């Protein structure tokens, strides 16, 4: 792909309230590529995460609006303008309106060339209501795959935001297909650009065994899951499968990397099933430390969604049959695919993989090859740049 850049540096407003590692990587890459990059955020914490504050050349405008700030419910879902109770709804709408007026004022002051906004129900909605053109919408997954089907109101909001965007980028074909079904948005204005991973950071290094040593698991076969502890990631099904797995392979251990609102519930499950010696909750693991944990593992398990990091480390995967996952994991090639919520099927797949060293090694090699071909962040970011310049040319 040959990129043609305008002589003047593009000024890009990146509007996001999630501020995850994915946002950090986008912002870091934008500044490295020389774009005049502005992060506008209504992040729910009092300050922006420190790694983002350290990005050279990044301009940050953060307004903490307590009425707009999202909160967790007990099941791990976000609430905002859909919050229960009319008083909270009124405050949330008020907060949204205040943030919209603030955003319009900032746009008038800095006059960007492009707005890049993510998460349909917060940043995407503000971008859509602002009237600014051109702007790129970047749904995150559940905001178009799950939430629009939870209520008629959410469906209306999602359709409105999607249809207002000048272009849309998403990380897999399954999300693109759902956007088209949901909103009728033109397929030729939706670009699939997998976020990918840093292949220099996430790579196989078999000599890294410090995590195994710290846990006393040097002789164990380790399963790993690296997901936030939320209901839609299905970690409870993996924990439920552990007694079946241990009955066949007593040396198996489960490493859970992530935090979230279901942590107490999942820890209670572990105690009730007497799995304390077999399951370790590592909590939130910073991205730069995650390769050490992944390198300690033998198999990556995802009871819900895919995780590209496992592919690049040469880990075979056991995943559920979700369309977005099937774009990365092919049954029998680089992993095993099982049905959602199938505890026995999940346990059987893990045991079969653990007991076949030859197949497991081949699947790990295939996972690494898949990552090199499709998940290279340096290559995939060029697709995002092409979108920017296409919008400018229009």
pLDDT-above-90 percentage for the chain: 63
Other beta carbons within 10 angstroms of residue 241's beta carbon come to 26
pLDDT over 80 (residue 275)? yes
**Band of residue 81 on the pLDDT scale cut at 50, 70, 90:** very low
Asked if the model's pLDDT at residue 2 lies above 80, the reply is no
Higher pLDDT, residue 91 or 363: 363
Q: Check whether 349 has a pLDDT greater than 70.
A: yes
Per-residue pLDDT, averaged over 73-97, amounts to 61
DSSP type of residue 149: G
Fold exhibited by the domain 11-196+376-393: Rossmann fold (3.40.50)
Distances (CA, A) of 216 to 121, 223, 247, 253, 389: 44, 15, 20, 11, 52
Question: Taking 70 as the threshold, does the pLDDT of residue 204 lie above it?
Answer: no
Domain 11-196+376-393 shares a fold with domain 210-374: yes
User: pLDDT band at residue 319, thresholds of 50, 70 and 90?
Assistant: very high
Given a cut of 70, is residue 85 above it in pLDDT?
no
What would the two tokens of residue 185 be? 């948005």
Given the candidates 3.40.1010.10, 3.50.50.60, 1.10.10.60, 3.40.50.2000, the CATH classification of the domain at 210-374 is 3.40.50.2000
Residue ranges of the domains in the chain? Answer: 11-196+376-393, 210-374
pLDDT tens-place string over residues 126-144: 999 999 999 999 998 888 9
Cis omega (within 30 of 0) for bond into 345: no
Q: Decide if pLDDT at 207 tops 60.
A: no
6-54 residue pLDDT tens: 446 899 999 998 888 889 999 999 999 999 999 999 988 888 999 999 9
């Amino acid at each position: 792909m040959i990129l043609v850049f305008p002589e003047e540096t593009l000024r890009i407003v990146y509007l996001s309230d999630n501020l995850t590692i994915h946002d950090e990587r986008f912002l870091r890459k934008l500044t490295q590529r020389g774009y005049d990059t502005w992060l506008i955020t209504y992040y729910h914490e009092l300050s922006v995460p420190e790694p983002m504050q350290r990005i050279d050349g990044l301009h940050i405008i953060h307004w903490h609006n307590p009425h707009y700030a999202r909160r967790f419910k007990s099941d791990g879902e976000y609430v905002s303008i859909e919050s229960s109770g009319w008083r909270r709804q009124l405050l949330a709408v008020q907060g949204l309106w205040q943030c919209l007026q603030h955003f319009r004022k900032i746009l008038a002051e800095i006059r960007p060339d492009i707005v890049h906004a993510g998460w349909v129900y917060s940043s995407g909605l503000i971008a859509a209501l602002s009237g600014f053109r051109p702007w790129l919408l970047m749904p995150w997954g559940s905001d178009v795959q799950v939430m629009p089907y939870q209520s008629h109101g959410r469906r209306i909001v999602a359709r409105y935001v999607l249809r207002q965007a000048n272009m849309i980028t998403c990380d897999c074909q399954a999300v693109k297909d759902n956007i088209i079904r949901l909103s009728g948005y033109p397929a030729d204005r939706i670009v699939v650009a997998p976020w990918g991973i840093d292949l220099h950071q996430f790579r196989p290094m078999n000599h890294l065994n410090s995590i195994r040593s710290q846990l006393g698991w040097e002789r164990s076969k380790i399963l790993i899951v690296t997901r936030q502890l939320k209901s839609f990631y299905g970690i409870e099904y993996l924990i439920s499968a552990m007694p079946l797995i241990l009955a066949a392979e007593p040396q198996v251990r489960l490493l859970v990397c992530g935090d979230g609102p279901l942590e107490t519930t999942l820890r209670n499950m572990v105690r009730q099933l007497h799995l304390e010696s077999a399951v370790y909750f590592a909590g939130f693991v910073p991205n730069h430390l995650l390769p050490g944990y992944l390198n300690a593992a033998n198999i990556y398990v995802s009871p819900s969604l895919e995780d590209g990091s496992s592919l690049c480390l040469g880990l075979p995967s056991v995943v559920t049959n979700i369309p977005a996952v099937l774009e990365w994991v092919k049954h029998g090639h680089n992993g095993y695919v099982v049905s959602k919520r199938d505890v026995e099927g999940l346990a059987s797949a893990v045991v079969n993989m653990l007991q076949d060293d030859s197949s497991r090694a081949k699947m790990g090699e295939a996972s690494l090859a898949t990552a090199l071909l499709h998940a290279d962040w340096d290559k995939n970011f060029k697709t995002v740049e092409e979108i920017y310049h296409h919008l400018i040319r229009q």
